[in-house]
Amino acid sequence: MNTYRPTQSSNYWMIALKLLILILGLYISALVLNIVFTWVFAITFFLIRFVVILVVSFMVLHFFLKLLFKIDLLHFVTSKLFLK
C-alpha cells in the first residue's frame, strides 16, 4: 500500500508543469494547423472558383445560344451523354 502523499508545494509545481505542457502543446498544434489549413483553404477556394466559373460560363452560353439560335445546349449535352 502506498502511503506517499505529495506535499502542498510539490502539488503546485505539478499543476504548473501540466499547464505549461498544455500551453506548449496548444501552441505547437496552432502552428502546425495554421500551415495545414492555409493550404486546405487555398486549394478549396481555387476549386470552388473554378467550378463556379465553369457553371456560369455554361449558363451564359446556354442562354445566348437559346436566345439567338434556338439551340438548347442543355438538351444537346445531356442527350449526347446518355445516348451511349
CB under 8 Å to 6, separation ≥6 — which residues? Answer: 14
Residue with cell 502511503: 3
**How far apart (Å, rounded) are the C-alpha atoms in residues 11 and 17?**
10
pLDDT band for position 6 (cuts 50, 70, 90): low
Considering only residues 25 and 7, tell me which one the structure prediction assigns the higher pLDDT: 25
Domain limits, the chain: 8-83
pLDDT band for position 82 (cuts 50, 70, 90): low
Nearest to 65 by CA among 54, 81, 53, 77: 77
**How far apart (Å, rounded) are the C-alpha atoms in residues 64 and 73?**
10
Tens-place pLDDT, residues 33-81? 999 999 999 999 999 999 999 999 999 999 999 999 888 888 887 886 6
